[in-house]
Amino acid sequence: LSRELYDLFLDADRQYSCAYWAEGVETLEAAQLAKKRHIAAKLLLRPGNR
């Protein structure tokens, strides 16, 4: 399948999972970032963790 096809429905990071549409989130990119931040918070990830 072509890259152009995936461009139609995936974000720039090529994430293939549900985004986190918190209140005030209006774009797919913002929702994907909210998802990554939400997961990191649940995992208690901090700078320097590997």
Domain residue ranges of the chain, discontinuous segments joined by +: 3-42
Other CB atoms within 10 Å distance of the CB of residue 5: 9
pLDDT of residue 45: 86
From CA 22, how far away is CA 26, in angstroms rounded? Answer: 9
pLDDT tens sequence across 3-28: 899 888 887 888 888 889 989 999 98
CA angle, residues 2, 10, 42, in degrees to nearest 5: 140
pLDDT of residue 13: 84
pLDDT of residue 25: 94
DSSP string, 1-50: --HHHHHTTS-TT---S-----TT--SHHHHHHHHHHHHHHHTT--TT--
